[in-house]
Amino acid sequence: MCGIAGICHIDGPDGVSLNSIKRMIGALCHRGPDETGIYLDDQVGLGHARLSIIDLSSGVQPIHNEDKSLWIVYNGEVFNYPELKEDLLQKGHRFYTTSDTEVVLHLYEEQGPDCLTQLNGQFAIAIWDTKKKELFLARDRVGIRPLYYTILNNTVIFGSEIKSIFSNKNVSRRIDPIAMDQIFTFWTTLTPRTVFKDIYELPPGHYMKTSDSKVTFKKYWDIPIYPRAEQSDLAPKEICEQVRDLLQDAVRIRLRADVPVGCYLSGGLDSSGAAALVVRNFNKDVRTFGIRFDNDGFDEGEYQKLMVSYLNVNHTDLTATDEIIGASLPDCLWHCEKPLLRTGPVPLFLLSDVVRKSGYKVVLTGEGADEVFGGYNIFREAKVRRFLAKYPDSQSRAELIGQLYPYIFDNPRLKRTLQSFFAKGLDQIDDPIFSHFIRWENTSRIKTFFSQELNEAIGQYDGYEQVRQSLPEGFERADDFSRAQYLEMAIFLSNYLLSSQGDRVAMAHSVEIRLPFLDTRVMDFMARVPAKWKILGLNEKHILKKSFEGILPKKITSRPKNPYRAPIKQSLLNEKTAEYTKEALSKKSLSRAGLFDAGKVTKLLRKVQAVDNPSEIDSMALVGLLSSQLIHRQFVQNFPARPDNPVSPALIVDRRSEALRAVS
């Protein structure tokens, strides 16, 4: 995995500074510490920071085709590249490396943008066509790899991370009020928006092209969603057999690397299943890594130990203490580049450091299984709420909610609160966002802390309506569960889970994650499986559990879903972190950023400090307000928050004319 960056003048030659590209890739060296490369001509500059995983000796980028008319910088892996290469060889293409990068370039030469539909992988691509004077940028289907851009004075400036773009002194750094409204509703921004004004994210499954002084965008893939008539009629046993075969092959091709590949192992169904497939079929000596917590309410150590013993693997765990989580939040945010409403990304940020120091660059993870196979409580909640709407007088009302959260129903006060919570919006079952609406409304309560200035800037913006307007053709014909899955994947998966809890925290320490559950073949197959087999009654991930029977211990396949969480108050208001938290949320700091109402924030701090177990909303508010303040400080107020890395490129291809070379 790597970092890419570049500058392209849309209207024609205008000169690109070598030093500007050096600064851009210098900001990305944590993504690619092994070597750097640069391509320059009178119209474009491309930069690459490499984490060498495939073709360690000759894969330095930028890479060109036979006549050097096409040049590529590339962040990612295409796992089916050997098969694609064989077909290209038969068509007469010649290769000078053994990398997947060169395969992508020749496939683009052969097919243009249509090549994207053949790539099974995770990638962000930049290709410069020297003959057509076209820049082509593309991103993988679900957005595992990031790609950001801005357009300034008819110049496209792009990079794997926003800090790379901000290394250009002409790019302004401002918080986007609409983005703040989105984050404090959906947990994240809605692509293409980012938290910074005029900085955009290329949406998953899209490509962008500059040609003839214009910039065009096109969606080449969308999350599969099929009406019942197009879904499978296979029996559950046959479905499970196909799932096992697909997952085994998804794991097989994700082990393609010229370096060792490890596995994350949390003790949950998903990571345990991925690790078990590796051990049973490919590598009995695989190294595994996991997170432990001091607090029993967050720790899954019992199940990790069970799986380590069952698989007989060499396992390393990290104990994420409250103190280290709180102390590491600012560093984690520097890499996430957006506010957070949870501390969950921080332990994963710390774990990637352990992985790297153990000599590993690549790990398989279980992310994506909950979205694809139906593992989240929000799916079960929506199912229960639809039942309640249909049968408002049912005697099963309390019992059903109790099945979702049995531990809460031991507390009479919380029991009444939860029943009231689920009763909201039952008259809106025809709303396409019904499954997520009460959750988003609950999160939106944090917006009461917004300053008057921020509220005025947001104005009448309606994020819910933006989501409704973005839904694909045919959405209304899909079943209720498939629609809920689509919303979860389109918003939460790409822009939070795969970003703040995925690529960004792993690549902070030069670790590439690979996600077999998000193999395009697995996603498409499961999209055709009827909803009744994904959640059987209220049993989440029924098909995946059945598929892993005989592969995993029954104690793992039968355990209820345990959402991954990390401590909040204990981390942000302990003896070692309380001072920096209070300083960031002081009246002076709040006034400087202008995002939040200082009086309300002061009352929140007092309230949270006074109770042992703050409410979910108060806890989310604490993280959201603090992380927003830190993001403003790092990227708006004090950028760069840390010095750039000096860059000595292993390869510089300089095709600039003498007249424009002087801009360096």
Q: What is the per-residue pLDDT for 226?
A: 94
Q: What is the 3-state secondary structure (H, E, C) of 18-71?
A: HHHHHHHHHCCCCCCCCEEEEEECCCEEEEEEECCCCCCCCCCCCEECCCCCEE
Predicted confidence band at 646 (pLDDT cuts at 50, 70, 90)?
Answer: confident
Give the range among 242-256, 265-279, 555-569 with minimum mean pLDDT. 555-569
Q: What is the per-residue pLDDT for 62?
A: 97
- The answer on pLDDT for 417 being more than 90 is no
What's the whole-number mean pLDDT along residues 133-143? Answer: 98
- The answer on pLDDT for 406 being more than 70 is no
Residue pLDDT, tens place only, 327-356 = 999 999 999 999 999 999 999 999 999 999
Share of the chain above pLDDT 90, in %: 85
CB 339 within 8 A of CB 595: no
CATH number, span 2-221: 3.60.20.10
What's the whole-number mean pLDDT along residues 453-472? Answer: 98
Q: What is the per-residue pLDDT for 183?
A: 98
- Is 2 known to be catalytic? yes
Residue pLDDT, tens place only, 35-76 = 999 999 999 999 999 999 988 888 899 999 999 999 999 999
Q: What is the per-residue pLDDT for 315?
A: 98
- The answer on pLDDT for 409 being more than 60 is no
Residue pLDDT, tens place only, 495-516 = 999 999 999 999 999 999 999 9
β-bridge mates for residue 77, sequence order: 122
- The answer on pLDDT for 373 being more than 90 is yes
For every residue of 144-202, DSSP letters joined together read: SS--EEEEETTEEEEESSHHHHHTSTTS---B-HHHHHHHHHHSSPPTTB-SBTT-EEP
Q: What is the per-residue pLDDT for 413?
A: 59
β-bridge mates for residue 6, sequence order: 46, 158
Predicted confidence band at 33 (pLDDT cuts at 50, 70, 90)?
Answer: very high
Q: What is the per-residue pLDDT for 611?
A: 93
Q: What is the per-residue pLDDT for 357?
A: 98
Does this model's pTM top 0.75?
Answer: yes
Q: What is the per-residue pLDDT for 645?
A: 80
Predicted confidence band at 396 (pLDDT cuts at 50, 70, 90)?
Answer: low
Q: What is the per-residue pLDDT for 159?
A: 98
CB 649 within 8 A of CB 2: no
The Cα-based distances of 432 to 75, 464, 480 in angstroms read: 35, 10, 9
- Domain residue ranges in the chain: 2-221, 569-637
